[in-house]
Structure 1
Amino acid sequence: MDQQPQYPVQGAPAAYPFKPNTPPKQWKAGLFDCFNDVGNLIYVLCFGPCAFASRASRLRKGDGWLCFCCYGGALPIRGEIRMRANIEGTACDDCLTIWFCPCCAAVQEQQEINELERAGLL
């Protein structure tokens, strides 16, 4: 039996709109800029689980059931936003931000998702 040579499978192109050699950026809004977006801040403070489910849905990472496990689901959502927008940071940074400033982090994420949608990247 004649066997065909096996070649390694090449990786698929990246699904994110940045080049791997592009230097990472900063968040469009600072962590404490949440006070500049009062409407979004009130939404996050009064309807936190719904705001979380909205972010997950806008990233196409769930349909809203995650609203019942905010802290457990918040870390991958924030990481996904960072990856899609090519934002500098680590999972440890995300964890500390979510733990100590959950409302400010949520508003910052909402603002970043808004920017990604405006740019047509979501």
Structure 2
Amino acid sequence: MNSKSPTLGQWSTGLYDCFEDYGNCCLTCCCPCVTVGRTAEIVSRGATSCCAAGATYVLLAYFGCQCLYTCTFRDKLRALFSLPEDPCADCCVHFWCAPCAICQEYRELVNRGLDPSLGWELNAKKMEAAVTSAPSVARGMAR
């Protein structure tokens, strides 16, 4: 993945850096509904299930208008991490470069410490545990 840690307000990878995660790139090329579903579940904080988002994507893809759906999750992702609308408006990115945009959004979640393949509940528990766990303190009076 990306060697530098992601910062608030900046994408951790570029739109065309699909091959930074070969597995996700292959999955998205063969079955984009899975990647869309996983991303949607995380950015909607569980309000949209992976299965529902994936099925909606497939249905809309049949009519050729899936970009109108997927761009809404890019917007939510950008809001979550204060990311710029880059290189252009979300709907344009998804209309012209949908596979690249879908891969970039998934990578962004991974690079920020989330695992979309686990779903929202397990990621929420993982984040909660990281926030609520107290730092360990060494015993004794060692310096």
Task: Using structure 1 for the length normalisation, give the TM-score.
Answer: 0.68
- Do the aligned partners of residues 44 and 61 (structure 1) sit closer, same or farther apart at CA in structure 2, a change above 3 Å counting? farther
Matched to 1:41, the amino acid is: C
Offset at residue 88 of structure 1 (A): 1.2
Given the alignment, which residue of 72, 82, 86 partners 2:82? 86
Shift of 1:113: 1.2
Partner of 1:39: 23
Q: 1:62 aligns to what?
A: 48
- Residue 39 of structure 1, CA deviation: 1.2
Amino acid at match of 2:39: R
Q: C-alpha separation between the residues in 2 aligned to 1:99 and 1:36?
A: 22
Distance, in Å, in 2 between the alignment partners of 1:62 and 1:117 is 20
C-alpha distance in structure 2 between counterparts of 1:28 and 1:48, whole Å: 21
Equivalence for 1:50: 34
Q: How many Å separate the matches in 2 of 1:72 and 1:65?
A: 16
Of 1, 7, 25, the residue aligned with 2:9 is 25
Alpha-carbon RMSD: 2.3
Where does the alignment leave 5 or more consecutive residues of structure 1 unmatched? 1-23
Percent identity, aligned pairs only, is 24
TM-score (norm 2): 0.59
C-alpha separation between the residues in 1 aligned to 2:25 and 2:31?
A: 10
CA distance in 1, matches of 2:47, 2:102: 16
Native 8 Å contact 1:66 1:73 kept in 2? no
Please give the secondary structure, in 2, of the residue aligned with 1:81: helix
- Which residue of structure 1 aligns with residue 106 of structure 2? 110
Letter paired with 2:48:
G
How many residue pairs get aligned? The number is: 97
Provide structure 2 residue ranges, at least 5 long, that are not aligned to the other structure. Answer: 1-7, 61-65, 115-126, 129-143
Range 108-117 or range 40-49, more displaced: 108-117
Give the CA deviation at 1:61.
Answer: 4.0
